[in-house]
Structure 1
C-alpha cells in the first residue's frame, strides 16, 4: 500500500506542480507526518522532490522529471470499471482506489490532452454531496475492513461469514454463498444464497465479515442484472405488502411514486383536482411513514387502521405544539 501511495504522491506533484504537505495529506487521506516521511523516502530513492519555503511554498518535482508510474493495480482497475457512479465506488469501498486510478489515467495522457481533459472535467459535476436546498445526500457508511472481506469472497468465490443485523432484530452470524454486489441510490447490497435459498443483505447492516477458505456453492457465471430484477419482483409481490387508497395532490404524486413500490390510478380527480390512487407499500410501517411525509397533501381513504394511525400521530403533534414553549 505504501508503494501505491508513493506513486500517487509523485503523480499529484506532477499534475499540480506544487502542493503543501497538508494538501497532499488530504488528497492521500493520511497524516501530514506520513506525507513528510514519504517525501524523504522518495528523495532517498532518487526522485527529485524539493521544498520551496514561504507563503506560496510547498513541494515540487524537478521540471521535466518523468518516469513510468501509471500501472494500475487490481483495486484501481476495478474502481474504474464501476466509475460510472462515483458513489457506487464509495459503496463498495473503492473510493480511494478510484481517486488513485484516475490520477494515473490523467498522467498517462499526452501533454496536450491532459490540459484539455482537466479543463473539461472541471465543467462536469456528478453526484454532488448536497441537493439545491443544501440537504446532504447521505451515503451509507460501511467500514473498509468489512467491505474488503465481502469483495474478496465475491471475487474469489469463497463462502462468507457475516455478522448481520436485520431491521428490528439482534445481530447474528450467518454463513452465505456470495453471488454479487449491487448499489442502488447510494445503498449497497450483497446478493447471496443461504442453505440454497436466495438472500439479499444490506451492506450497512453487516457489522463484521470474514471470507472463508471454502469454495462458495454458486454457478460459475451470473447475469447480475437479471438476478436483481427477479429478486426485486419477488420483493414487491411478497411479504407484508400493504395496498392503500388515497387522494393525493398532483404536485406530490411524483414524490409518492419515488417512495412507494407501485402507484396506480384508481379514480378520476375529485373537486379539488386530486386523483385517487392505489398505492402499494412494503409493509405497514412503510405506508405510515410515506403518507405522513405528504401531510395535508394526501388523504388516506383505506385501510382504516392507517387513517387511525395518521390521525393519532397528528393529534399528538397538535397537543405537543398547542401551547407556548
Structure 2
C-alpha cells in the first residue's frame, strides 16, 4: 500500500508541478504528517523532490525529472476496465480511442493479472442500455462524430469555434464562440463557452456542424469546470419563466419527481403520510409533463391552473376511451 502511495505522490507532482503538503494529503487521503514522511522517504531513495517555502510554496520535482512508472496493480487495471464500459467516452467521441487504450492496458499486465482482471470485469456491468422493464436508458440523440471531433479539438487546442447551432424554436444559425469545456449530464453533452464575452451553454446534439478556427480562444488558462457548471446551473434556476408547484407524491415515486424538478424548495409530510414538496420546473409545459407522467401517484395542490390543465387532459383521454373503438 505504501509503495502505491509513493508512486501516486510522484505522479501528482509530475502532473501538477507543485502541491502543498495539505493538498497532497487530501489527494492521497492521508495525514499531512504521513505526506512529510513519504517525501522524506522518496528523497532518501534519490527522487529529486524539493520544498519551496512561502504563501504559494509546496513540494515539487526538479525540472526535467522523468521516471518510468508503468506498473498497474489488479485493482487499478480493473478500475480502468470498468470506466471503459461507461458512456462518457462515447459522448465525447472517444469510444474507439478508449477501446484501444483498454487493449493496451490489458496487454501490459502480467499473465496472471491479465486473466484475473478479465474475469473480474465480466462480473460487473455499468450503465446497461435498458432497465428491467426494457426501457432504454441511453439517449437516442447521437451527435455525428465529425462534429464531436471538431468541437473537442477546439476545446483542447484553445482555439475559437464556429458552430451551426439549432436553438429551440429558432432557425439554425452560425455562431463563433470561445469554448471553455465539455460536460455530460443525464446523457446529454453540453459545450460551455462564451460569445462576445457573455456566458453561453450549447447542447451538442443541436450543433449541426462545427469548425475549429485558427485564432486562439479568449478564455482563462485554468478553469474550474465543475464550479462553472454549478454557477451556470444556479443562474439558470434563478432566471427564466420557472414555475413553482406544491405537490403531494407517493413516497415510492418521490425520487422520480425530484429527478425531473429544477429545484426543491421545501418538504414536509402530509396527514396521509405522503411527502408534500414545493418544487420548481422550467416552465408550464415542463410542470405538466412531470406531473402527468406520475399519474395517480402525484397531485398538484397549487397552482390551480395546473390542476385544471391536468384535469382537462385526463377528461379528454377518458372520453376517448369511454366507447369501444
TM-score by shorter chain over 0.5: yes
1:5-154 matches, cutoff 5 A: 83=83, 86-139=86-139, 140-154=141-155
**SS of residue in 1 equivalent to 2:183:** strand
Any conservation in 2 of the 1:164–1:208 contact (CA below 8 Å)? yes
Shift, 1:262, TM fit: 1.9
Distance in 2 (alpha carbons) for counterparts of 1:281 and 1:95: 34
Shift, 1:239, TM fit: 1.1
Q: Once the two structures are superposed, what CA deviation does each residue of 1:121-170 show, in whole Å capped at 9, x if it has no partner?
A: 11111111111222111223110000000001101111111111122222
Shift, 1:84, TM fit: 6.8
Change in CA separation of 1:265 and 1:85 when aligned onto 2, cut-off 3 Å: farther
Any conservation in 2 of the 1:190–1:200 contact (CA below 8 Å)? yes
Shift, 1:176, TM fit: 0.6
Give the paired residue count.
246
Q: In the alignment, what sits opposite 1:212?
A: 213
Distance in 2 (alpha carbons) for counterparts of 1:171 and 1:302: 37
Q: In the alignment, what sits opposite 2:319?
A: 319
| Residue 226 (structure 2) pairs with residue 222 (structure 1) | no
Any conservation in 1 of the 2:84–2:102 contact (CA below 8 Å)? no
Any conservation in 2 of the 1:82–1:89 contact (CA below 8 Å)? no
Q: In the alignment, what sits opposite 1:164?
A: 165
Change in CA separation of 1:251 and 1:311 when aligned onto 2, cut-off 3 Å: same
| Residue 201 (structure 2) pairs with residue 200 (structure 1) | yes
Q: Structure 2, unaligned stretches of length 5 or more?
A: 1-79
Any conservation in 2 of the 1:83–1:89 contact (CA below 8 Å)? no
Change in CA separation of 1:172 and 1:125 when aligned onto 2, cut-off 3 Å: same
Shift, 1:91, TM fit: 0.5
Change in CA separation of 1:84 and 1:304 when aligned onto 2, cut-off 3 Å: farther
Distance in 2 (alpha carbons) for counterparts of 1:228 and 1:222: 11
Distance in 2 (alpha carbons) for counterparts of 1:275 and 1:240: 25
Q: In the alignment, what sits opposite 1:235?
A: 236
Distance in 2 (alpha carbons) for counterparts of 1:268 and 1:100: 52
**SS of residue in 2 equivalent to 1:136:** coil
Q: In the alignment, what sits opposite 2:191?
A: 190
Distance in 1 (alpha carbons) for counterparts of 2:121 and 2:249: 42
Q: In the alignment, what sits opposite 1:274?
A: 274
Shifted more, 143-152 versus 313-322: the winner is 313-322
Any conservation in 2 of the 1:83–1:98 contact (CA below 8 Å)? no
Shift, 1:114, TM fit: 1.1
Shift, 1:119, TM fit: 0.9
Q: Structure 1, unaligned stretches of length 5 or more?
A: 1-79
Any conservation in 2 of the 1:162–1:173 contact (CA below 8 Å)? yes
Distance in 1 (alpha carbons) for counterparts of 2:96 and 2:270: 51
Task: State the TM-score, normalized to the length of structure 2.
Answer: 0.72
Q: Once the two structures are superposed, what CA deviation does each residue of 1:73-110 show, in whole Å capped at 9, x if it has no partner?
A: xxxxxxx7994772111110111111111111111112
Change in CA separation of 1:122 and 1:266 when aligned onto 2, cut-off 3 Å: closer
Q: In the alignment, what sits opposite 2:263?
A: 262
Any conservation in 1 of the 2:81–2:102 contact (CA below 8 Å)? no
Q: Once the two structures are superposed, what CA deviation does each residue of 1:304-325 show, in whole Å capped at 9, x if it has no partner?
A: 2211221121122112211111
Shift, 1:273, TM fit: 2.6
| Residue 272 (structure 2) pairs with residue 294 (structure 1) | no
Q: Once the two structures are superposed, what CA deviation does each residue of 1:261-296 show, in whole Å capped at 9, x if it has no partner?
A: 2224455413x3323321111111111110111111
Distance in 1 (alpha carbons) for counterparts of 2:156 and 2:267: 47
Q: In the alignment, what sits opposite 1:68?
A: none
Shifted more, 313-322 versus 145-154: the winner is 313-322
